[in-house]
Amino acid sequence: MKIVYSDKHAQHDPQTFIVRGVKQRSAEQPERATRLLAAAKDAGHEVIAPKAFGLAPVQAIHRPEYIDFLQIAAREWAKLPGASPEVVPNVHPARYPATYPKSLVGRAGWHQVDTGCPIGPGTWAAALASAEVATTAADMVLSGTREAYALCRPPGHHAYADMAGGFCFLNNTAIAAQHLRATHARVAVLDVDVHHGNGTQGIFFERADVLTVSIHADPSAYYPYFWGHAHETGAGEGDGFNLNLPLPLGSADAPWLAAGDTALARIRDFKPGALVVALGLDASESDPLQGLKVTAAGFAAMAGKIARLGLPTVLVQEGGYLSDDLGHNLVQFLAGFERGRA
């Protein structure tokens, strides 16, 4: 399988992650991508560089004021008296009607939903390169490649049209799906990350041309908490085109794969022309975030089920954090996908 990768991801090396009030280094480290790349190379997969697409694919998903904020935030933040090395918000507009602020501190609170998405000097360059990785993989599929894997970092599925969160800045999965819409009237997104793909859901929530399906740990007790519940089915024209399949914390292969069968049945009914898989390997039993207990064999089995849909497919890397099994889980997923295609 062809793998799209950019080493520009390493320009984003977040140091700030506040868990239960305690500041620690972010789990979303550059080593994630280098481990995945090494494992893929060792397994014989071909690695290629992304093409430059400029801002157009990003602008098709994200709002102008948000793109502007991401581009200038680190530079302008550094000019503030006593500013920290990274942009970390301390005030948010919450759930009530609010006015867009002029202050950079206010803009940070408006555009960064939590403290898991600090912005440093290299964040914008890394995020844009990650989006170009996803767009290149989608472009390959549009050009006739049956499947391509976008080794994206930073990840993207928690990013809304105008809001970063959960390690994510630009929504690579949504960008890939929208790029596929250039040819396909209907595109499906299947998110198998341990966390709900809330940003992707939000972006397509009122649309009927992109079906969004997410299998994840129950958000009533797990990030992102406020989104990902089963009753969220879409709105307006998109009503019925969002499917959430939350699982109890600690669920292992059997319920995860059963949820996969439900997800794939809905995708078949939708009859899309192409598929985007938001590939989170953090559902692993050895992942440090410990939301679900999926084994390497489980990842391979899920991949085979997805491949047997027979759809042109873009695999977009989302979560999956440092453990001895991270690279192995990727290799098993890719192998399972290729067996399913055979």
pLDDT of 53 above 90: yes
- Predicted local distance difference test score (pLDDT) of residue 342: 83
What's the whole-number mean pLDDT along residues 250-265? Answer: 98
Domains in the chain, ordered, with CATH? 2-52+125-341 (3.40.800.20)
Mean pLDDT of the residues in the chain = 97
Question: Bridge-partner residues for 17, per DSSP?
Answer: 24
3-state secondary structure 135-183: HHHHHHHHCCCCEEEECCCCCCCCCCCCCEECCECCCHHHHHHHHHCCC
The active-site residue out of 158, 179, 196, 216 is: 158
The per-residue pLDDT for range 195-216, each reduced to its tens digit, is 999 999 999 999 999 999 999 9
For residue 278, what is the enclosing H or E element?
A: strand 274-279
Task: Please report, rounded to a whole number, the percentage of residues in the chain having pLDDT higher than 70.
Answer: 100
3-state secondary structure of 215: strand
The distance in angstroms from the start CA to the end CA of the chain is 13
158 is catalytic: yes
Burial (CB < 10 A; 0-12, 13-18, 19+), residue 186, is middle
pTM of the predicted model as reported, rounded to 2 decimal places: 0.98
